[in-house]
Amino acid sequence: MSARLRGICGSLAAILVALLLVRSFVAEVWRVDSGSMLPILHGGEGLSEHVLVKYGAGDLERFDLVVLRQEEGGDPIVKRVVGLPGETIRIIGGDLIVNGQRLPPANPRPAPVPVFDDTLLLLEDHFHMNPRAARPWRYRDGEWHLDARGVPPRSDGAMALLHLDLRDAHFDHNGEFVPGVLQMNDGSLACSFLLEESTGFLRFRLLEEGDVFRLTVRPLKDDRALVRLLRRNPRTLASKDPLLKEELLLEREIPLTIGEWHGLRFSNTDNHLVAQVAGVRLEMGYDQNEPYPGRTGRGDRSVGSRVGLGGEGCLARFRDVRVLRDLYWSGAGEHAVSGGLSLGPGEFFVLGDNSRDSRDSRTFGPVRLSNVIGRPVAVVWPPSSWRWLAPTAD
């Protein structure tokens, strides 16, 4: 055998030994066998992704992804940690309650799930638009142009209103829309906007139960704008004073240049409103939603268009429109559903992101640290799906 061939064989042997050592002591690749973690991980029918799992649990934090050994045997499963040792966990109306409270706004959370993206779906197919003869909306050169100057004041004639409900929908690995079933509590709207002149104002809305939250952006002089956050519900509408039929939650002047593009994000998560407009963040919390006063579908608590964007008396453009939803934990199972569940030392409560198709701690109860095989850190197969897995949003 030549020296070169011996060298090649030696290198291959070293690589093989290294791979075996990595698999034995550091990490391994696991196949995702179910859809319980959709859409962060795809498995089951159709595409089954493979994840690189780093052995060991380390110091687990809320919303970390873990691979677990099942007590009754069977293949390992991937879940998300939501409850930590010493905490009392309960699921109420789809929300996670920790020690009797919703999570504070500063607590890192999983990234919201897109349910509409104008790069994948047509805005006009999923939003009610142009309800009047004036036809204020026009699509041109990849942007939506809005001329709301001829629309009657205090009307929705220049609003684009989402006609799909916020359900546990998602986009699959091919970018195809997958409809959902369970109604979501929390949603958010993201877009870019450009005001062409200093007239009128922009309007954005989120609806949850009996509350309509409105965000308005009114251009002022000297590259400034007045941003207002308002709330309307059956309680405010019952007021005899017309000025009190909509509650002003907060307002602030911000820098904003006419003729330039600006980013916007308007979200409601766990009864906490956040508006990010042109790089300025406004936020506030509220105790609870006002119930919807009429009849709802079974299991639903909200009726009507959940998301909208548009304006009044303005000339504007929009692009990069996205609607997103929060994770929702259904009331299936018995643990932490009918009452609070207290976790002992070394116990964790885990859930699947695709709540209606997940067998997790709601069914089999808390898991112990010794059940944790490791943490999935990346999707490594198929190559087209390669990505790092981040437990929480940046």
- The two structure tokens encoding residue 190: 């993201």
Decide if 36 is catalytic: yes
Angle of CA points 337, 339, 340, to nearest 5°:
100
Q: Are 196 and 315 a contacting pair, CB within 8 Å?
A: yes
Spatial distance between the Cα atoms of 192 and 78, rounded to a whole number of angstroms = 36
Q: Are 349 and 82 a contacting pair, CB within 8 Å?
A: yes
366 Cβ contact list (under 8 Å, min separation 6): 83, 335, 341, 343, 344, 347, 348, 349
Q: Please, which residues bridge with residue 114 across strands?
A: 324
Closest CA to 387 of 61, 68, 78, 39: 39
**Of 79, 267, 355, 358, which is the active-site residue?**
79
SS3 assignment, position 8:
helix
Spatial distance between the Cα atoms of 342 and 190, rounded to a whole number of angstroms = 37
Closest CA to 342 of 360, 325, 317, 361: 361
SS3 assignment, position 240:
coil
Q: Are 267 and 282 a contacting pair, CB within 8 Å?
A: no
Q: Please, which residues bridge with residue 151 across strands?
A: none
Q: Are 379 and 41 a contacting pair, CB within 8 Å?
A: yes
> Max CA-CA distance within the chain?
98
**Of 11, 34, 36, 54, which is the active-site residue?**
36
Please list the active-site residues: 36, 79
